[in-house]
Amino acid sequence: MPKKILVIDDEPDVLIFLGTLLRKNGYDVCEAEDGVEGLKKVIDEKPDLVCLDLLMPEKTGIKMYREMRKDEELKKVPVIMVTGFSTSPIGYMDFKKFIHHRSIPAPEGYIEKPVNKDELLKAIKQVLGE
């Protein structure tokens, strides 16, 4: 049974790209365009892993991540952050706050945009323990 991965990103291009990439590599993929939809799908689809964009409208990736981690069930779902935060001046501040928030554990993995296909697949395999 293929593992299910939830991809959350506000950019349709990224969704198409990541969806194509992960399906090609034998994963079951579901998609969400923002944090609200993402949170709903985490509950409904019960994915094995979440690929989360940090900067999004509606609920940002950070907010969604915090909520996931507060929930007893959802906090078990591993998350890989996909972001361009390290160089974006706006995202950088949010990320700093996020990193320094001691009460919330760090995500299981993160990779920077632009997404390197091999890096992403490697990180997924590592998190899923394959």
Partner 1 sequence: MSKIREKWTNCTRGLGFRIALSVGLILLASYVVFIYLIVDVQQRFYLDQIVREAARFSSAVLNSTYSNMLHDDPESTRSFLHDIGKQESVSDVRIYNHDGLVKFSNHPEEVGKTVDIKSEACLTCHSEDKPFSEVAKDKRTRIHYQGKDRILGMITPIYNEKSCFTASCHVHPEDQKVLGVLDMKMRLGRFDAHIQSLVIKVVLIGLGTFIAVLGTIALYILFRVHRPVSRLQQAMQKVSAGDFSYKTPVESKDQLGELATSFNLMRDQIRRRTYELIRSRGEYKNLFEQVPCLICVINEDFRIVRQNTHMASLFKGGVGMHCYEAFKKQSEICEDCHAVKTFAKGEKFAKEHCGLDVAGQDANYVSYTSPIFDEKGKVIYSMLIAVDVRDRVKLEHELRVSKDFQTNLIENSIHGIIATDESGKIAIYNEAAQRLLGYEFHKAIGDVELQKYFPKQFVEMIFASQLGKVLPETRLVEQEAAIYSSEGEAIPVRFSGLILFDRGKPVGSVGFVEDLRNVKRLERDKQASDRLAVVGQTVAGLAHGIKNIIQGLEGGVYVVETAIEDKDSKLMDRGWSMVKNNIHRISDLVKDLLAYSKERRPQYESTDPNILAEEVCTLFEIKANEKSITIERQFDPNLGKMVNVFLDQRGIHTCLSNLVSNAIDACEMAQKKESLKIVVRTIEDNEGGVIFEISDNGSGMNDETQRKVFSSFYSTKGNRGTGLGLLVTSKIVAEHGGEIYFESAEGVGTTFTIRLPYGHKPSAESESSPTVMPLESTDGKQIA
CA 14 to chain centre: 12
Residue 23: alpha-carbon gap to chain centroid: 16
The mark string for 50-89 relative to partner 1 (x by CB under 8 A, - otherwise) is -------x--------------------------x--xxx
- Residue 30 vs residues 49, 60, 72, 98, 128: alpha-carbon distances, Å: 11, 18, 22, 26, 17
Which one of the spans 19-27, 67-75, 103-111, 120-128 is the region binding partner 1 (CB under 8 A)? 19-27
CB of 18 to partner 1, least distance (A): 8
Site stretch for partner 1 (CB under 8 A), options 8-16, 42-50, 67-75, 120-128: 8-16
Task: Kindly state the smallest distance separating residue 13's Cβ from partner 1, in Å.
Answer: 4
Half-sphere exposure (Cβ direction) of 22: Cα atoms closer than 13 Å? 25
Give the binding site for partner 1 (CB under 8 A).
10-14, 16-18, 20-21, 24, 57, 84, 87-91, 113-115, 117
